[in-house]
Amino acid sequence: MLNFIIPFMVLILVVVFIHEYGHYYFARRYGVGVTDFSIGFGREIFGWNDKSGTRWKICWIPLGGYVKFFGDRNVFSQADQDELLKKYKKEDQEKLFVTKPLYQRAWIVFGGPLANFILAIIIFIFIYMFIGKDFTTAIVDEVQKDSPAEMAGMMKNDIIVEIDGTNVESILDVSKLIGMSTSEYIDFKVSRYDQEILLKVKPNLVASVDNLGNKINKRMVGIRLSPYNNEIKHVKLGPAQAFMHSLSEVYFVASSSLKYLGSMITGSGDASQLGGPIRIAKISGQVAEFGIIPFISMMAYISISLGLINLFPIPLLDGGHLMFYAVEKILGRPLSQKTQEGFFRIGMFLLLSLMFFATFNDLKDLGLFQ
């Protein structure tokens, strides 16, 4: 059990700290007072006060965190600003979140997700510069008889160039792109005798297990790959190349995640693959056994997911606050307190429903439900 809990705690502490520090950085930059910087919720385990009066603390429930601003009940678009200002002296009013211009409030809220994306970029840059990135060309070594690939016209020695419009830079990209595809047909572009050919492959959905032994529904097209000319091409990149490939990876993960969520909404996606904290804890423990590089790679992907989810326009999330700020900008005034509270109740219901569904999938994955 400790093999799962300790890596999970490390992962969550780092990713949540970075997210909250993004809020904290912009708050301090724009002169907003910060009274609490908490990793976790509930009762405080330990903490300390810095010279600016912020209480830094770690609490018992490690499933998130928060930054509490001076005199602020929340960071929603305040409709009762005049009443709030009466409670504070002039020098204290300048430290209030609600007195700041709209663009500064937006940056403070956006700072959390932005920090998560930056963390992922830094991790990928480190890996690409010091460990290297794989650029081994993917060539089809075998096409299984009567497989989706054979029926689509794929042949031995085809070089896979693109999958669903995304360039295949490495043999490692093929399984990743097939697995991330959400459409009924996967578009392959292959190079055959110096000609590029487009193929539409309808994958089979097969109950399987991943490299860590977790149950998954795997999309299979029926091919076996080998390196082109049996040459493994692993390259350590320079700073500029590493940065560009890192940006590309973050964009790919974010866009693929949005496509997956969209497919679940439309009913075409596999909702059973949506997991919560239990699955993350299980996988983080399993990945940690493979070494530090796979573990920090997973940290990067979790950080992207956290940043992306927080940008959803759901009240209680950062994206919900940004949505209220956008409305305030358009109308020239914030929505009424009552209207905002109504949206927050809807947001709470949506988040609790999502958490319940993800946890149910986690328990089912552990064999507690059939």
Average pLDDT over residues 47-51: 93
Average pLDDT over residues 194-212: 81
In tens, the pLDDT along 160-187 reads: 999 998 899 888 888 888 887 878 899 9
Most confident residue range from 73-87, 89-103, 260-274: 89-103
Q: Could you tell me the pTM of the whole model?
A: 0.83
Active site residue 162: no
In tens, the pLDDT along 233-291 reads: 889 999 999 999 999 999 988 888 888 777 766 666 555 555 545 455 555 556 666 67
Percentage of the chain lying above the pLDDT 90 cut? 40
Average pLDDT, the chain: 82
In the predicted structure, residue 294 carries a pLDDT above the cut 50:
yes
Domain ranges of the chain: 2-130+300-365, 133-235
What pLDDT is stored for residue 27 in this prediction? 95
Q: Do 152 and 146 form a contact (C-beta atoms < 8 A)?
A: no
DSSP 76: S
Instruction: Determine the Cα–Cα distance for residues 338 and 79; give it in Å rounded to an integer.
Output: 9
In degrees, to the nearest 5, what angle opens at C-alpha 356 toward C-alphas 299 and 21?
Answer: 35
Here the contacts of 356-364 (C-beta below 8 Å, separation 24 or greater) are: 357/271, 357/274, 358/274, 358/275, 358/276, 358/279, 359/276, 359/277, 359/278, 361/271, 361/272, 361/273, 361/274, 361/275, 361/276, 361/279, 362/275, 362/276, 362/277, 362/278, 362/279, 362/282, 363/278, 364/272
Structural domain 133-235, CATH architecture: Roll (2.30)
Instruction: Determine the Cα–Cα distance for residues 14 and 105; give it in Å rounded to an integer.
Output: 24
Catalytic pick among 20, 94, 184, 249:
20
Average pLDDT over residues 126-133: 94
Q: pLDDT confidence of 107, banded at 50, 70, 90?
A: very high
Number of DSSP helices (H) and strands (E) in the chain, helices first? 11, 12
Element spanning 218, H or E: strand 215-220
